[in-house]
Amino acid sequence: MKTMADVKTNKLTLVQAVTDGLRTMMKEHDDVLVLGEDVGKNGGVFRATDGLVDEFGEDRIVDTPLAEAGIIGTSIGLAINGFRPVAEMQFLGFIYPAYEQIMTHASRIRTRTMSRFNVPMVIRAPYGAGIRAPEIHSDSVEALFTHMPGIKVVVPSNPYDAKGLLIASIEDPDPVLFMEPMRSYRSIKSDVPEEKYTVELGKGAKVTEGDDVTVIAWGNMVAVAQKAVEKIEKEQGVSCELLDLRTLYPLDKDIIAESVMKTGRAVIVHEAPSTGGVGNDVLSIINDNAFLYLRAPVEKVAGFDTPIPFFSLEEDYLPTPDRVLKSIENVVTF
Peptide bond between residue 250 and the one before it cis (omega within 30 degrees of 0): yes
Helix segments in the chain, DSSP class H? 14-28, 52-56, 68-79, 99-101, 109-112, 143-146, 159-171, 220-236, 253-263, 278-290, 314-317, 321-333
Catalytic residues, by residue number, are 137
- Amino acid letter for position 191: D
DSSP labels for 266-292? EEEEEEEESTT-HHHHHHHHHHHHHGG
**Rg of the chain over all Cα atoms, to the nearest angstrom:** 20
What CA–CA distance (Å, rounded) separates 329 from 310?
A: 31
What CA–CA distance (Å, rounded) separates 133 from 199?
A: 30
- Asked if residue 178 lies in contact with residue 125, where contact means CB atoms within 8 angstroms, the answer is yes
**3-class secondary structure, 205:** strand
Q: What are phi and psi of 118, to 5 degrees?
A: -135, 170
